[in-house]
């Protein structure tokens, strides 16, 4: 059955590949790179033209076959905390006591700053320099979809492994596996308080763990799967909260604080074992098996297929994706059991993706703008802290969205006069080399090749208007010209 499904998908893929634009069309190449990478580079444009659109798409859909460059591997290897286990991080950086004085809290936060700084640096390094660009965009998409706020208690320590272990391995796999990994990571259970969720009639109901907490149950259904209009009721939310009772952190008198916060465990003493009805289906009191049954049910709902497809299309195609595209993607989601790679393939080979009205119509988020400017210009970056400060000033500090819905991916949120002014300032900073450290302590980092202005203009294809080209050409100072290009209307959109 699996082989038949694979053969069917491949035949559809080969048929759709025939309708792709020719790789010789620089504007279509630019459109593809704008959408499935963090921004075009002359190297990648040449690569698409060499191997063709379909081959490049297939390459990006299989990031496991795209190795990191040696330079990128070396830069990532220098970030030691990004490789440590959750227990090692908790043991080293998690405060030993909950009741700390203000000074002790400040010292603990300062000590933990290295974990967050290295996590952000790793994300920026991969976004700028990885050749598996679609993978990096999907990591960003799914983290934002299953958002966790870095400053929610111990999540400052837990969040890096959340992205590394729960998000990254499942970006293009089965949605159900991704949902499982997210729901069983300490960072999510802390952020949305399910580690406190306890049957009030259970023998272990005491202290903070003394009642039903619906936070995670509500967000699973409203934000993570079925969507706010997904057809469920408040009673379903309450029932799901009861099903999730007992799913929390490690417990037991012999476990130290680091052990408790570095593992997920099901505590039957806090679980509601009564029989329930969820989404019009009986759920019998079987403990942890109830949770798996509920996640299976949610992942297989038609509303989940539609909602996830809509969110992906909104991220890659247009703010208000056409229903024809969303339906095609949702049908693929259902047919393949939630295979994310297949859903992406349906989108990338669709006529809607290549429709001219969906070209250069999305305003870049601060992260996307900053990374695309560096990728196009080839500006060297040796101080990721400074780069992140600018992204933060533009309104998108990494891992720091407070609310569970994550950062919005629509023009109305980012497009305003202040945002445009900050992008002009960022273009100036990029061209003037402000991301270089004052010393040479990190000169072994990735060293891109700086791109000439003619190459940058060429890489923009035919998107630059006559007025923009005239403005650039008429600039008296040569250094002003790339700043004008990076702050042009054609570049701030993608």
434/445 same-domain check: yes
The tokens describing 366, both together, are: 């601060």
462/373 same-domain check: yes
213/293 same-domain check: yes
3-state class of 278 per DSSP?
Answer: strand
pLDDT value of position 437: 65
Distance separating alpha carbons of residues 276 and 290, to the nearest angstrom = 10
Q: Give residue-wise pLDDT tens across range 259-277.
A: 889 999 999 999 999 999 9
Distance separating alpha carbons of residues 151 and 392, to the nearest angstrom = 15
Distance separating alpha carbons of residues 408 and 233, to the nearest angstrom = 25
Is 225 inside a domain boundary?
Answer: yes
Is 435 inside a domain boundary?
Answer: yes
H or E segment to which residue 432 belongs: none
261/218 same-domain check: yes
329/258 same-domain check: no
DSSP alpha helices (H): ranges in 38-153? 42-51, 53-61, 70-77, 86-93, 102-129, 133-145
Mean pLDDT by 10 residues, the chain (494 residues): 41 51 82 97 91 96 96 95 95 79 84 94 97 98 98 93 98 98 98 97 91 98 97 98 97 83 95 98 97 98 98 98 98 98 98 96 97 93 93 97 96 92 94 71 51 87 90 92 95 96
Give strand pairing partners of 206.
209
pLDDT value of position 6: 43
277/314 same-domain check: no
- 160 contacts: CB under 8 Å, gap ≥ 6: 81, 82, 89, 115, 116, 118, 119
- Among 251, 266, 300, identify where a domain stops: 300
Q: Which domain holds residue 411?
A: 366-492
Is 140 inside a domain boundary?
Answer: no
- 221 contacts: CB under 8 Å, gap ≥ 6: 230, 232, 236, 237, 240, 298
243/319 same-domain check: no
Is 20 inside a domain boundary?
Answer: yes
pLDDT value of position 56: 97
449/481 same-domain check: yes
Is 92 inside a domain boundary?
Answer: no
374/416 same-domain check: yes
Can you give the length of the chain in residues? 494
Tally of structural domains, the chain: 3
372/351 same-domain check: no
- Among 273, 300, 327, identify where a domain stops: 300
Task: Judge contact between 349 and 13, C-beta under 8 A.
Answer: yes
Is 296 inside a domain boundary?
Answer: yes
391/289 same-domain check: no
3-state class of 300 per DSSP?
Answer: coil
Structure letter (DSSP) for residue 339: B
Is 31 inside a domain boundary?
Answer: yes
Rg over CA atoms, the chain: 24
320/394 same-domain check: no
pLDDT value of position 255: 79
Task: Judge contact between 243 and 290, C-beta under 8 A.
Answer: yes
pLDDT value of position 4: 36
Is 68 inside a domain boundary?
Answer: no
- Among 300, 319, 338, identify where a domain stops: 300
Q: What angle do CA 282, 283, 284 make, to 5 degrees?
A: 115
């Amino acid at each position: 059955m699996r082989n038949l499904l694979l053969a069917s998908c491949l035949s559809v893929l080969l048929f759709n590949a025939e309708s792709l634009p020719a790789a010789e069309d620089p504007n279509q190449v630019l459109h593809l790179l704008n959408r499935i990478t963090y921004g075009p580079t002359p190297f990648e444009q040449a690569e698409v033209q060499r191997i063709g659109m379909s081959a490049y798409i297939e390459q990006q859909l299989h990031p496991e076959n795209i190795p990191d460059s040696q330079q990128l591997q070396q830069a990532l290897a220098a970030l030691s905390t990004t490789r440590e286990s959750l227990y090692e991080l908790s043991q080293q950086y998690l405060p030993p006591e909950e009741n700390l004085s203000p000074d002790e809290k400040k010292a603990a936060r300062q000590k933990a700053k290295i974990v967050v700084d290295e996590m952000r640096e790793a994300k920026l390094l991969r976004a700028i320099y990885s050749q598996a660009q679609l993978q990096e965009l999907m990591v960003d998409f799914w983290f934002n979809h299953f958002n966790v706020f870095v400053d929610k208690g111990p999540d400052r320590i837990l969040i890096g492994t959340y992205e590394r272990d729960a998000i990254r391995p499942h970006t293009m796999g089965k949605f159900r596996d991704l949902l499982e990994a997210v729901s069983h990571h300490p960072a999510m259970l802390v952020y949305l308080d399910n580690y406190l969720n306890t049957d009030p009639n259970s023998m272990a109901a005491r202290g903070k763990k003394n009642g039903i907490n619906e936070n995670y149950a509500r967000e699973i259904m409203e934000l993570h799967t079925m969507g706010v209009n997904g057809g469920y009721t408040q009673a379903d939310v309450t029932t799901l909260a009861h099903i999730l009772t007992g799913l929390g952190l490690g417990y037991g008198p012999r476990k130290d604080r680091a052990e408790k916060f570095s593992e997920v465990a099901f505590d039957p003493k806090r679980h509601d074992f009564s029989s329930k009805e969820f989404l019009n289906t009986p759920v019998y009191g079987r403990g942890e098996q109830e949770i798996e049954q509920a996640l299976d049910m949610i992942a297989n709902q038609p509303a989940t297929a539609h909602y996830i497809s809509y969110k992906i299309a909104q991220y890659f195609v247009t703010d208000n994706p056409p229903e024809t595209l969303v339906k095609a993607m949702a049908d693929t989601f259902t047919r393949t059991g939630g295979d994310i790679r297949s859903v992406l393939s349906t989108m990338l080979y669709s006529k809607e993706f290549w429709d001219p009205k969906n070209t250069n119509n999305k305003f870049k988020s601060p992260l996307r703008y900053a990374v695309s400017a560096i990728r196009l210009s080839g500006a060297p970056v040796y101080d990721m802290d400074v780069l992140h400060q600018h992204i933060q000033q533009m309104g998108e500090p990494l891992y720091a969205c407070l609310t569970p819905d994550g950062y919005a991916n629509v023009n109305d949120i980012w497009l305003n006069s202040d945002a445009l002014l900050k992008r002009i300032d960022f273009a100036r900073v990029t061209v003037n080399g402000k991301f270089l450290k004052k010393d040479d302590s990190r000169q072994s980092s990735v060293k891109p090749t700086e791109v000439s202005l003619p190459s940058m203009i060429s890489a923009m294809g035919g998107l630059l208007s006559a007025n923009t080209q005239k403005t650039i050409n008429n600039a008296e100072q040569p250094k002003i010209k790339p700043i004008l290009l990076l702050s042009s209307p054609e570049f701030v959109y993608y």
